[in-house]
Amino acid sequence: MEAKTMTMDLAGREFKITTGPIETYASGYAIVSLGDTVVMGNASMSEKGKPGAAWFPMFVDYEENMYAAGKIKGSRFIKRPGRPSENSILISRLIDRPCRPLFPKGTTNEVQIICSALSADLEVNPATTAINAASMALMLSGAPFEGPIGAVRMGYVDGKLIVNPTYEEVEAGILDLVVAGTLDAITMVEAAANEITDDVLLEALEIAHTHIKQICQLQIDFAAQYEITPIKAAVVEKDATMVEKVTGLVTAEMLAGVSGVTKTEVKHKLHEIEETVLAQFTAELEEGTVSEGEIKDTINSLFEKSMRKKILEQEIRLDGRSLTDVRPISVVLDVLPRPHGSVIFQRGETMALTITTLGAPGDAQVMDSLDDDKDRRYFHHYNFPPFAVGDIKPLRGASRREIGHGDLAERALIPVLPPKEDFAYTIWVVSEIIKCNGSSSMASVCGSTLSLMAAGVPIRKPVAGIAMGLVMDKESGTYKILSDIQGMEDFAGDMDLKITGTSDGITALQVDIKIKGLQLSLLKEALAQSKQGRDFIMGEMLKVLPEVRTEMSKFAPMIISHKIDPEMIRIVIGKGGETIQAITKECGVEIDIQDEGIVSITAPDQESGDKALQWVKDLTALPEVGKIYDGKVVKVMDFGAFVEFMPGKDGLVHISELANHRVENVSDVVKEGDPLRVKLMKIDEKGRNNLSHKVTLTEGDDAGPAPKADAAPSDAPAPEKSHSDEMPDDEKHTDEGRGTEGTPVPGTENVRKVNGQ
């Protein structure tokens, strides 16, 4: 393919498509860049269909190459990339969802799309560039792809919408929106938001589509430069005679009778029709001229058409609900005795068991990805076992769908979580989908909200979610929007809009369009209808748990936070980590220290937490001039004795300050290891501590109780001591011109027991 290049301005950055100097043997390939971010898209399509394919065999992968950002994989032992990161999987899904509906229905040709990040400027997220690269590669491949599609990201900062915002702008704003679409309509939306309004969201979508159309036109112009050999879609045609016969056997009355509140009821009535029809094909089945699967697929197709017709013409749904009705909701709190928060949220037949676990700050997940090295203090996992839908399948780890749904629920709740400064715990939420008949991801959001509240996590506001559907007559344009769709309405419908939010705005959004696109006016109507459903669901949730619990589970760890001078961090850690390891081992706690000096102690109970806190306080306390301490002699010299009067801190008791009488030899008075009460007289300009034992002999206990030098457990390794106070005899450590008094450690102490109270 001859190398060609086209460019355009995209919101102030150069957007470029080229086919050189890199070349591949893929059916179609393109290098797409936005600024210094460069993504190579490769699309390959087989010329023949895959035998026995029951679904469109398209495979999409996004390769998150660390070298693109000049980074080396963080693991010390494994440098070659292995399993794709969650971020790579999420971007792969972003590419797949707008592309898949633009292939002919029933296509069985194998299609593979691989998008590889070759360069990343670490300013703008490369996901939309990857979507654009995939579309361009498909356009050049000759695949029966009804594109192109374009994609942009939108942000909202200080009341202003921004096209392709930087990471910093996304972080500072309240919207992170990815939009994909064709020249005519929007085909996919993915958003994280902080209570954004419908009006702002719709305006963002409108601006996004303006730029999407420009991207699409550039792809059309670029593809027009090449002679592209089309690849014909291999669509398995059903036996026309069989279809005609089945259609004649299955009457409208039979199909109209297929309804029921539960999935089992509906399936039972469908099975009765299948058995009736199969009995009429006994000879053909024995001869092998038709298959049982083909007959059942035809019946299912007739059933879906009947269901859609009833919705469009009579507004009658499969389970008898109106278009706006939400299925019955039930909530069961505290299902499990030991987890810190557990709730069952059930809507209709869909049941989510959601569990909250609270851990230490050190339990946060360390991200090792192309553009994110942050610690993840809140993470949500969504599990969808095969028994949830009555299937039998091997367990092979989290699927892409599970990762995607977990990410959606996570994004929905992030805006309402307490800041780390107020709630230092690492938060892990798991949604186990026990039973499913549609909208399980939204059940997960509702269950997770209640689980967090039950665990005592002080979220700002509760969040509810609902899945909206659409049935549209493509010829007349007539449509009906459905609230809280169940499984069969999802499979046979034209849209799956998942939307979550508080009473004040949207927190997350995901829209999958199964038709060629969606007009903004229709989406506006769906958003308004979804608000009614969310409000109803929220009301049902708050009937059971109106507020966040003020007390945590007795099995949840407690966290004590204490501020120390950052210069003292090395003392708490100790040489080679000896000191901090001794504290954690003896007290049975976990300790995390931030660079700014915040020490977080995660303890199983108050006693062990207080013990570790006191140890840290003793290690980091500053000497106070004029205070009396119970110390221990650590070294004897000719001119005096060095005494450790606080953990890790020692000073010199000059020979003249050892007794009320003249001392000829220091060893006549003290020996190494002897306890010795001393008073801190002065701290000189070099930070050396001047001590006196003599004055304590006359002052006694007038200065108050004296902290002991060995306040920390005796078996703790002592911090490394340099005895920097050692001086030759000619420096007598007199009191003349010696230093100033010490000052307390800056900052405050905060002991958090429950909810930061």
Claim to verify: residue 183 and residue 215 sit in the same structural domain: yes
Look at 94-108, 185-199, 556-570, 742-756 and tell me which has the smallest mean pLDDT.
742-756
303 contacts: CB under 8 Å, gap ≥ 6: 255, 258, 270, 273
Buried b (16+ CB within 10 A) or exposed e, 517-534: bbeeebbeebbebbbebb
User: Residue 77: pLDDT band by 50, 70, 90 thresholds?
Assistant: confident
Looking at residue 515, its pLDDT comes to 81
pLDDT of the residue at 74 = 74
- Give the mean model confidence (pLDDT) for residues 524-550: 97
Mean pLDDT of 671-688: 93
Q: Do 391 and 286 share a structural domain?
A: no
Q: What is the DSSP string of 581-620?
A: HHHHHHHT-EEEE-TTSEEEEEESSHHHHHHHHHHHHHHH
Rounded distance between C-alpha atoms, residue 30 and residue 13, angstroms: 19
User: How far is it, in rounded angstroms, from Cα 586 to Cα 648?
Assistant: 19
The total of other beta-carbon atoms located within 10 Å of residue 719's CB is 19
The domain that contains 281 carries what CATH number?
A: 1.10.10
Pick from 712, 717, 341, 360: nearest CA to 561? 360
Instruction: Tell me which of 484, 516, 544 is where a domain ends.
Output: 544
Q: 111 pairs with which residues across the strands?
A: 45, 58
CA distance 541 to 79: 47
Tell me, what DSSP letter sits at residue 507?
E
Split at pLDDT 50, 70, 90, the class of 746 is very low
Are residues 383 and 289 both part of a single domain?
Answer: no
In a domain? residue 736: no
Residue 391 has a pLDDT of 94
For residue 710, tell me if it sits in a domain. Answer: no
Check whether residue 201 and residue 266 sit in a common domain.
no
Which residues lie below 8 Å from residue 265, measured CB to CB, with a gap of 6+? 259
Residue type (1 letter), 502: T
Contacts of 120 (CB under 8 A, 6+ apart): 36, 37, 68, 69, 126, 370, 371
d(CA 142, CA 109): 13
Q: What is the per-residue pLDDT for 236?
A: 82
The mean pLDDT of the chain is 90
251 with 388, same domain: the answer is no
pLDDT at 150 over 70: yes
Write the pLDDT tens digit of every residue in 555-581: 999 999 899 999 889 989 998 999 999
The average pLDDT across 53-63 equals 93
Predicted local distance difference test score (pLDDT) of residue 700: 52
Q: Across the strands, what pairs with 510?
A: 190, 498
The answer to whether residue 305 scores a pLDDT higher than 50 is yes
Give residue 148's pLDDT: 97
- 477 with 517: CB under 8 angstroms? no
pLDDT higher than threshold 60 for residue 366: yes
User: Which one, of 497, 492, 502, 443, lies nearest residue 472 by Cα?
Assistant: 492
Beta-bridge partner residues of 561: 600, 750
Please tell me the distance from the alpha carbon of residue 92 to that of residue 88, in angstroms, as a whole number.
Answer: 6
Least confident residue range of 11-15, 274-278, 745-749: 745-749
Bridge partners, residue 506, by sequence: 196, 501
Q: At what angle do helices 440-454 and 520-544 cross, to 10 degrees?
A: 40
414 within a domain of the structure (yes/no): yes
More confident: 751 or 540: 540
pLDDT for 739: 31
Are 93 and 146 in a shared domain? Answer: yes
**Confidence class of residue 754 from pLDDT cuts 50, 70 and 90?**
very low
Region 167-195: mean pLDDT is: 96
CB 126 within 8 A of CB 31: no
Query: With 50 as the cut, is the pLDDT of residue 718 above it?
Result: no
Beta strand pairing call for 329-333 and 175-181: unpaired
CATH number, domain with residue 178: 3.30.230.70
* Same domain membership, residue 269 and residue 363: no
In this structure, are 473 and 374 located in the same domain?
A: yes
Count Cα neighbours of 284 within 13 Å in the Cβ-side half-sphere. Answer: 17
pLDDT at 621 over 90: no
pLDDT band at 128 (very low <50, low <70, confident <90, very high): very high
Q: Are residues 361 and 460 in the same domain?
A: yes
Q: Does pLDDT of 372 surpass 70?
A: no
- Which of 588, 619, 650 is the last residue in one of the domains? 619
Q: What is the pLDDT of residues 460-504, one digit of tens each?
A: 999 999 999 999 998 888 999 999 999 999 999 999 999 999 999
In this structure, are 134 and 210 located in the same domain? yes
Please give the pLDDT value at position 313.
Answer: 94
More confident residue, 409 or 287: 409
**With 50 as the cut, is the pLDDT of residue 705 above it?**
no
The answer to whether residue 720 scores a pLDDT higher than 60 is no
Question: What six digits make up the tokens of 470?
Answer: 């659409």
Report helix, strand or coil for 653.
Answer: strand
Location of structure tokens 């005494």: 643
Count of domains in the chain? 4
Whether 432 is covered by a domain: the verdict is yes
User: Strand locations in 120-230, DSSP E?
Assistant: 150-157, 160-163, 175-181, 186-196
Asked if residue 320 belongs to a domain, the reply is: no
Domain boundary residue, one of 195, 223, 251: 223
Q: Within a 13 Å sphere around the CA of 120, how many CA atoms are in the beta-carbon half?
A: 24
H or E element, residue 582: helix 578-587
Query: Side chain identity at 70, as an amino acid letter?
Result: G
User: Could you tell me where the DSSP H helices lie in 56-197?
Assistant: 86-99, 127-141, 167-172
Higher pLDDT, 26 or 697: 26
Same domain, 275 and 132: no
Mean pLDDT of 35-55: 93
Region of poorest pLDDT, from 568-572, 588-592, 698-702: 698-702
What average pLDDT does range 225-239 have in this prediction? Answer: 92
pLDDT, average across residues 261-284: 93
Per-residue pLDDT, 747: 34
Give the ranges where 474-568 is alpha helix by DSSP (H). 487-492, 520-544
Task: Convert the pLDDT of each residue in 494-509 to its tens digit.
Answer: 999 999 999 999 999 9
Pairing relation of β-strands 350-359 and 426-435?
Answer: antiparallel
pLDDT at 727 over 50: no
How many C-beta neighbours within 10 Å does residue 149 have? 29
How many angstroms separate the CA atoms of 217 and 183, rounded?
A: 8
The answer, yes or no, to whether residue 686 has pLDDT greater than 50, is yes
pTM score over 0.75: yes
Clarify whether residues 378 and 520 are in a common domain: yes
Q: Is residue 136 in some structural domain?
A: yes
Cα 680 from Cα 623, distance rounded (Å): 8
- What's the pLDDT at 748? 32
Is residue 507 within 8 Å of residue 413, measured between CB atoms? yes
- Tens digits of per-residue pLDDT, 379-411? 999 999 999 999 999 998 999 999 999 999 999
CATH number of the domain where residue 590 is located: 3.30.1370.10
Dist CA 504 CA 668 (whole Å): 79
Domain assignment of residue 265, given as a range: 240-314
Per-residue pLDDT, 373: 65
Better-predicted residue by pLDDT, 519 or 174 = 174
At residue 687, the pLDDT reads 85
| Across 11-23, average pLDDT | 95
> Who contacts 286 (Cβ-Cβ below 8 Å, separation ≥6)?
none
Asked, for residue 90, whether it belongs to a domain, the answer is yes
Torsion of CA 224, 226, 227, 228, to 10 degrees: -80
Are the CB atoms for 350 and 432 separated by under 8 Å? no
Give domain status of residue 715, yes or no.
no
